[in-house]
Structure 1
Amino acid sequence: MTERLADIDTWIFDLDNTLYPPSAQLFDLIDARMGAFIMRLLGVDAIEARRVQKQYFHDHGTTMAGLMRHHGVHPEDFLIDVHAIALDRIAPDARLRAGLERLPGRRLIFTNADADYAARVLAARGIADLFDGVCDIRATRYTPKPDPAAYRMMVDHLGIDPKRSLFVEDMARNLTPAKALGMTTVWLDNGSESGHRDHLPDHVDFHVNDISDWLDTLPTPWGIS
């Protein structure tokens, strides 16, 4: 492990269900707002809205991408609506913070959400000051993971060297384009919905179940205590 991580100077993290656990069920609130948005947009009941929502998520990477493509939805209308949720289900985590603080180099966020929401989540977790940049769905021109184009835009936006970067993600399929660029990949297999979808073991360098446990196991040859 030490040899593989020795050259890493950029640590990239997904946001939802990665920097807080799925057990917080924060995404359930977003899910509910997505369903309500689709019901209003298409004039359908909750069952049909759920079907459309999940179909677009699986087919296009995000529900929003499907709505944009098939129904001409303006992305900002969707983002503002579905992320208008309370964050009282998550709280600061001293152990997570300590693990992140030990990492040398830059810490960055790569998310299919928007930067405003990401800032709120990071603040609620007590780790906002530890991150040096965010690549959100706006920075990728509303192109979501796992579209390879989103990763190329992320590399340019954040100014990273993929071969010196590590990416942590709870959705296995989102690691494949990162691996293709030469990144070290970490699959956080923590029970996220569809987290196992399109899992390709050859594209996963580290398979972990808890982010704080994993951070605690990392070697510290960098003189950080």
Structure 2
Amino acid sequence: MSQANNILGTRDATPEDFAGVRDWVFDLDNTLYPRHVDLFSQIDKRMTAFVSDLLQLPPQEAKSLQKEYYRSHGTTLRGLMDLHQIDPDAFLNFVHDIDYSWLDPDPALGESIASLPGRKFIFTNGDRGHAERTARQLGILDQFEDIFDIVAAGLVPKPAAETYDKFMGLHRIDVEHAVMFEDLARNLTVPKALGMKTVLIVPRNFEAALDDIWEHEGRDGEHIDFITDDLHGFLTSIQS
């Protein structure tokens, strides 16, 4: 049993639980790579810098406002678009100009994803370029059928139901034979309601790793089927 299961009380998954799954949907950041790598901290700092420059705010005020937009609008980008009519392309290009060498290639993860039966997708609130660069650095890009990004979503982020509808409709996802992996519990509410299996990815040293605690609200909800702090280990364990 994983550390996360011990903490949060979910049972271990078995191959039988996933025997009928043919569509495997993965979030990107802090899901396909572990949170402790801290790649997203680079994006977070650049979002703060963007807000600071746009609104001429000191860094700490800009950071607080950025987090407020993230919480109330789903993403900082959505908040800036709704309230300040910014150019989304300019924002996305700026915040994703980061150093991807922080990520080590993960051939074991690539093998475990490749071995899954059926189609695999990345479904992210980031943009396609960021997703491609991240997955390429991990060495897993070729394992995915497609990437559904924030642009494909019409710039409406998860957890909006209409965004899941767009993704499901575009790729003709059979929700009764699909599973979604996410690091944010709130982003699994709609998939579960649609009939998908759900797997929450949590950090190692779970409680010690929590920073913005509100991000993890709902992690003990009934919409979470399984919880793990080791994606590769989990994928290996469910393959017979």
Smaller-chain TM-score range?
A: over 0.9
Q: Which residue of 1 aligns with 2:230?
A: 210
Q: Which residue of 2 aligns with 1:189?
A: 202
Q: Which residue of 1 aligns with 2:66?
A: 53
Q: Retained in 2: the 8 A contact 1:15–1:109? A: yes
Q: Which residue of 1 aligns with 2:50?
A: 37
Distance in 1 (CA, whole Å) between partners of 2:49 and 2:118 is 41
Deviation, structure 1 residue 54: 0.6
Q: Retained in 2: the 8 A contact 1:134–1:158? A: no
Deviation, structure 1 residue 211: 0.6
- Cα offsets for 1:187-211 (capped at 9, x unmatched): 0112465441233520011111111
Q: Which residue of 2 aligns with 1:198?
A: 218
Which gives a bigger RCO, structure 1 or 2 (Cα 8 Å, sep 6+)?
Answer: 2
Which of 22, 25, 36 in structure 2 is aligned with 1:23?
36
Q: Verify: 1:180 aligned to 2:200, yes or no.
A: no
Distance in 2 (CA, whole Å) between partners of 1:156 and 1:82 is 29
Aligned residue-pair number: 220
Deviation, structure 1 residue 212: 1.3
- SS of residue in 2 equivalent to 1:160: coil
Q: Verify: 1:87 aligned to 2:107, yes or no.
A: no
Distance in 2 (CA, whole Å) between partners of 1:65 and 1:5 is 35
The percent of aligned pairs where both chains have the same amino acid is 40
Which of 111, 115, 118 in structure 2 is aligned with 1:102?
115
Q: Verify: 1:153 aligned to 2:166, yes or no.
A: yes
- SS of residue in 2 equivalent to 1:201: coil
- Cα offsets for 1:139-189 (capped at 9, x unmatched): 110000111111111111222111211000001110001111111100011
Deviation, structure 1 residue 98: 1.7
Q: Retained in 1: the 8 A contact 2:16–2:238? A: no
Letter in 1 for 2:73: H
Question: Structure 1: 5+ residue runs without aligned partners?
Answer: 221-225
Letter in 2 for 1:138: V
- Normalised to the residue count of structure 2, the TM-score between the two structures is 0.88
- Cα offsets for 1:72-105 (capped at 9, x unmatched): 1121111111001110100211221121121000
Which of 78, 86, 99 in structure 1 is aligned with 2:91?
78
Q: Retained in 2: the 8 A contact 1:133–1:158? A: no
- Please provide the CA RMSD for this pair: 1.3
Deviation, structure 1 residue 2: 3.4
Q: Which residue of 2 aligns with 1:137?
A: 150
- Normalised to the residue count of structure 1, the TM-score between the two structures is 0.94
Distance in 2 (CA, whole Å) between partners of 1:69 and 1:131 is 32
| Larger displacement relative to structure 2 (1-10 or 163-172) | 1-10
Structure-2 change in CA distance of 1:180 and 1:138 (3 Å): same
Q: Retained in 2: the 8 A contact 1:15–1:111? A: yes
Deviation, structure 1 residue 133: 0.7
- SS of residue in 2 equivalent to 1:88: helix
Q: Retained in 1: the 8 A contact 2:43–2:98? A: yes
